[in-house]
């Protein structure tokens, strides 16, 4: 039996990223937690400073959940002197392969205090019927 791997088919190729790219740093800094409850798969993404209108959540036909968006660059004033820039800006995309038991038509997303929560309900696992057998003798 093959073990299901949610990261299968999503290789990380460091050569495909430019280390100095603002987009790369935004991608790396978009942190996502994924937990499974008895009822659902729950994804939580930290998106500080991003409005919900700037975030897109999509489910593709082959059970791929995609979270994407863009952190806007702060307008620079010619008189400003930047001493440190740690908050990344640019586009970000995170993709996850959902398991077979995900109800793709009932995915819900909400955003509060810079945290995006995506809930993917699971199909109920049908418990096998247990029939007691009378022991004769």
**Which of 35-44, 68-77, 96-105, 128-137 is the least confident region?**
68-77
Q: Is 134 part of a structural domain of the chain? A: no
Q: Is 19 part of a structural domain of the chain? A: no
What domain count does the chain have? Answer: 1
Task: Assign residue 78 a region (left: φ > 0; alpha: ψ between -120 and 50; beta: otherwise).
Answer: alpha
Look up the domain containing 98 and give its range: 32-72+87-122
Contact 98, 104 (CB under 8 A): yes
Percent of the chain topping pLDDT 90: 40
**Which of 12-16, 56-60, 126-130 is the least confident region?**
12-16
Q: Is 6 part of a structural domain of the chain? A: no
Q: Is 80 part of a structural domain of the chain? A: no
For residue 103, give the CATH number of its domain.
2.60.40.790
**Which of 8-12, 36-40, 71-75, 91-95 is the least confident region?**
8-12
Read off the pLDDT of residues 45-57 as tens digits, 9 standing for 90 and up: 999 888 899 999 9
Read off the pLDDT of residues 59-105 as tens digits, 9 standing for 90 and up: 998 899 999 998 776 666 677 887 877 666 778 889 999 999 999 99
Q: Is 15 part of a structural domain of the chain? A: no
Q: Is 53 part of a structural domain of the chain? A: yes
Q: Is 127 part of a structural domain of the chain? A: no
Residue-by-residue DSSP string for 87-124? S--EEEEEEEEPPTTB-GGG-EEEEETTEEEEEEEBPP
Q: Is 98 part of a structural domain of the chain? A: yes
Is pTM, for the whole model, over 0.85? no
- What is the three-class DSSP state of 26? helix
């Amino acid at each position: 039996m093959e073990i299901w791997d949610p990261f299968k088919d999503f290789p990380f190729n460091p050569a495909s990223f430019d280390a100095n790219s603002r987009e790369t740093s935004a991608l790396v800094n978009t942190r996502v937690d994924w937990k499974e409850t008895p009822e659902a798969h729950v994804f939580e993404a930290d998106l500080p400073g991003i409005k919900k209108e700037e975030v897109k959540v999509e489910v593709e036909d082959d059970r791929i959940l995609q979270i994407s968006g863009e952190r806007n660059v702060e307008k620079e004033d010619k008189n400003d002197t930047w001493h440190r820039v740690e908050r990344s800006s640019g586009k970000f995309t995170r993709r996850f392969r959902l398991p077979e038991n995900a109800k793709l038509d009932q995915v819900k997303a909400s955003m509060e205090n810079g945290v995006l929560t995506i809930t993917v309900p699971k199909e109920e696992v049908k418990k096998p019927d247990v029939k007691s057998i009378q022991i004769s003798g």
